[in-house]
Amino acid sequence: MFKLFGPKHKGTGPFLVNDHPNYHFADLGQMPETQLVMLVNRRTWQRLPEYVANYEALALAGRFGAQPGDYEWEWVASPEAIRWWRRAATGQESLFGMALAVHRAEMIELYGLVEVDEHSPHWAEVIPEEAANGMPSQAKLVARSEGRSEQDILAGLYCEYFRKRGMLTLDTPGQPALRRGTIREVERFRDALRALIERSTRVRLPSDIR
């Protein structure tokens, strides 16, 4: 069911950001990589495909240009899900968070996670400052002694940092590495989803006008 999300997380202990702790999310056992669970009213959720397509879809950026926070969402029809392509200050977007929908009567259960690839501008931003500060200097020294690219060495140092902490969800030679989101990043994704849903309720959609 969760192939949309890639491999199961491994390494450091799991956590769950739960917006509704008194509610039983029945599919959690089938999706152990889940980092976020939310409930959304069915009628509100059903507005999202049309809202995203007309106001916030990633594809709109090519027509209108984009700033951080603009045109960052992708609706997935099967399996039904929403993806957040978070933009950096440069305007570059990269896949950041995904949430899969499960329909339950009048509510929608969302099972989400944050997963960041090594080419993302958000890849290294969760490395603590005290660890990150020395890495550029270390990469420069190694580059001089070994005649290798400083940028490649720095990328390797970042990857090794996440590897040692069990944060890599994909660590296969020849493929971009993936790391799991931190709890703060998952909370950021939750807040972005909340804001998206709230904006969708305040807009008249083309189907509302017809």
Report the pLDDT value the prediction gives residue 138, as an integer from 0 to 100.
86
**69-73, long-range: CB < 8 A, 24+ apart:** 73/196
Tell me how far the alpha carbon of residue 38 is from its chain's centroid: 15
Q: What is the C-alpha to C-alpha distance for residues 115 and 5, in angstroms, rounded to an integer? A: 8
- The pTM assigned to this predicted structure is 0.89
Q: What is the C-alpha to C-alpha distance for residues 105 and 116, in angstroms, rounded to an integer? A: 33
pLDDT digits (tens, 9 = 90+) for 46-65: 999 999 999 999 999 988 88
Judged against a pLDDT cut of 60, whether residue 141 lies above it is answered with yes
Report the pLDDT value the prediction gives residue 70, as an integer from 0 to 100.
93
Contact 111, 31 (CB under 8 A): yes
If you average pLDDT over each of 6-20, 98-112, 130-144, which comes out highest?
Answer: 98-112
- Give the Cβ contact number of residue 59 at 10 Å: 10
Q: Please state the rounded mean pLDDT for residues 189-197.
A: 97
Encoded amino acid at 5, one letter: F
Q: What is the C-alpha to C-alpha distance for residues 49 and 192, in angstroms, rounded to an integer? A: 16
